[in-house]
Copies of this chain bind each other. A is one copy, B any other.
């Protein structure tokens, strides 16, 4: 290892290769992450809980063990609505302040069992839902949000504080922070990876996801979850890309439009066949269906806190339990039926004429201020459709903040989507060195 380079600047895949070949120790990587965090967390505020001594001891233990595979020794930031055996799960709620569950959530157990090191817990919007915001700031501009609700994981991975992070998505909580922080994110197919041990907000929508700084990072993690690497090569030349402005295109901002058109141009220049994709009329009603489902299922999800700790629950969540929007059972069932209708329709569009959908990750750049985490309007429909999404950085917007796009595949075709993303990413994302230069120059 070139000791003049901080290991924390590497991608997970780069670090993994060095750890596997014993050219770098897990301890070296973790110490580098801790140095970066020490120099940055006072302003970025990505972490809710991190015990440096503890994680160094764990790193040393991992260095003594035979490798458990490509994730061995790689550190993770874990969004604090996800249980870990070693840290409290506060959910950024005063109700669960300092509460320790002592059991890993299913996705944490799998990466830990694959040799990963849980570095610490990252800040989140209260219950990954509504209410209290994370204190986290956007590493590219501290006056801007890093997005949410996976605020801390997005910012920590983007700011080179940790190579891998877990987020969750119910509306746009995973893919939007990927875009705002210039990183890669996979939201796998719904229930392709067990979400047990994540705070439940909406059983139909909540999905675990992970962040990295390249598609290869996402693939290394996917393999631990038995989402195998797709052996069939992908050629961008001739790749059929559906450019989907989505039924909410009126919400787009110049930076979001720039990212989408830039990605499309770069793919076209490489020989991909990029064509506009119009979704049939029922898809325009999915946004309202998402709201009905999130609200109704949230009423069941937050009843325990409503009953036991009413005054400490965010007003927005109390209102959800009280069903102030007056969503009826009929509306909920119609929302389910619409989503159930649309999912196979969307899946059926893929085939000889469509390999992948290209769509916005967010309206535009991360908004200014920490009172908002941005808008999930371009993500909700895809969350409800349950298929895999990969967020890829594209360019910087007029405010100097990163903007990304989303690739979408059909349900359960996660391996294929990752292979397509891996072929497309080097063309779409021309700025990885520029991101490093802006945040952490040599």
Contact = CB atoms under 8 A, between A and B. Distances in A.
B106 A412 contact: no
Interface residues on A, range: 35 or more
Interface in A295-339: 297, 299-301, 303-304, 307-308, 321, 329, 332-333, 336-337
A349 interface: no
Contacts of A225: 303
Interface string A187-228: 000011111100110011000000000000000000011100
Interface in A151-208: 191-196, 199-200, 203-204
B102 A308 contact: no
Contacts of A333: 344, 347, 411-412
Interface string A346-378: 010000000000000000000000000000000
A114 B226 CA distance: 42
A113 interface: yes
Contacts of A329: 411-413
Given A103-B101, A340-B340, A110 B297 contact: no
B109 A192 contact: no
Contacts of A192: 300
A92 to B, nearest CB: 16
A363 to B, nearest CB: 31
Copies of this chain, complex-wide, total: 2
A184 to B, nearest CB: 22
Contacts of A203: 191, 195, 203
A429 interface: no
Nearest to A302: B194
Contacts of A343: 336-337, 340
Contacts of A299: 226
A304 B113 contact: yes
A104 interface: yes
Given A297-B191, A333-B412, A411-B333, A106 B196 contact: no
A303 B197 CA distance: 13
A102 B102 contact: yes
Given A109-B307, A308-B113, A102 B104 contact: no
Contact of A104 (B199, B304, B344, B347): B304
A99 interface: yes
Contacts of A102: 99-102
Nearest to A322: B226
A203 B332 CA distance: 18
Closest 9 CB pairs of A and B: A340-B340, A109-B304, A113-B307, A329-B412, A113-B308, A196-B200, A194-B300, A106-B304, A191-B203
Given A106-B304, A194-B200, A194-B304, 19 more contacts: A99-B102, A100-B102, A101-B103, A102-B102, A109-B304, A109-B307, A109-B308, A113-B308, A191-B204, A194-B303, A195-B203, A196-B200, A225-B303, A226-B321, A329-B412, A333-B347, A333-B411, A333-B412, A336-B340
